[in-house]
Each structure stands twice: as structure tokens, then as C-alpha cells.
């Protein structure tokens, strides 16, 4: 069910993006110091979106790398602890005498 909802959501976003592109074909002039560029308004919006996504991914990379290293370290520690610990299925020696 989750995949179907995700597919429907992505389809609606794609249709909204296509409608935005079709309705916003007016040329806009971008004036940089060295040059000028004339682009459709929809491409300017898409370009801004792409730049924002790229900057967001780059901003989260250091934290993701740090967490991946921590997960790897904790996994190694867990493996060592599992090897060193006695099996859970073994019954521990009881300090009480057996029942009479």
C-alpha cells in the first residue's frame, strides 16, 4: 500500500511540475556582471530547485559519514561482545541449593 501511495504522490508532483513548465514559458533575463542569459521562467525554477537539493545533500554528508563510522564501530563492538558473552541458552549456575 505504501508503494502505491508513493507512486501516486510522485505522479501528482510530476504532473504539477509539467503544468508549471507549460504555464511559465515567459523569457526572463538573468543579468550577471560578465554576461546575460535569457531563460524560460520554468527552467529558472527547476534550476533553483536542483541547486537547493544539491546544497542540502552536501550539507548533510558530514553527519551521514560520521553516523556511518559510528554504526560500523558499534557493530564491531557488538560482534566482540557476542563472542565473549556466554550463550543465553546455557542455564547459569544458581547460587541456591537444589530443592529437596
How many alpha carbons fall within 13 Å on the CB side of residue 97? 2
The pLDDT, as a whole number, for residue 20 is 87
d(CA 45, CA 28): 11
d(CA 75, CA 69): 10
The pLDDT, as a whole number, for residue 57 is 94
pTM of the model: 0.58
The pLDDT, as a whole number, for residue 94 is 66
∠ CA 89-94-97 to the nearest 5 degrees?
A: 140
The pLDDT, as a whole number, for residue 93 is 66
d(CA 42, CA 22): 8
The pLDDT, as a whole number, for residue 97 is 72
63: cell is 553527519
Domain regions of the chain by residue span:
10-83
Q: What is the DSSP letter of 95?
A: S
The stretches in the chain having pLDDT less than 50 are none
Amino acid at each position: 500500500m505504501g508503494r502505491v501511495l508513493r507512486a501516486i504522490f510522485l505522479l501528482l508532483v510530476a504532473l504539477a511540475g509539467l503544468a508549471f513548465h507549460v504555464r511559465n514559458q515567459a523569457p526572463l533575463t538573468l543579468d550577471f556582471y560578465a554576461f546575460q542569459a535569457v531563460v524560460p521562467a520554468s527552467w529558472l525554477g527547476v534550476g533553483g530547485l536542483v541547486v537547493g537539493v544539491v546544497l542540502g545533500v552536501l550539507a548533510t554528508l558530514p553527519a551521514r559519514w560520521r553516523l556511518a563510522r559510528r554504526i560500523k564501530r558499534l557493530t564491531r563492538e557488538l560482534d566482540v561482545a557476542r563472542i565473549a558473552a556466554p550463550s543465553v541458552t546455557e542455564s547459569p549456575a544458581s547460587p541456591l541449593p537444589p530443592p529437596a
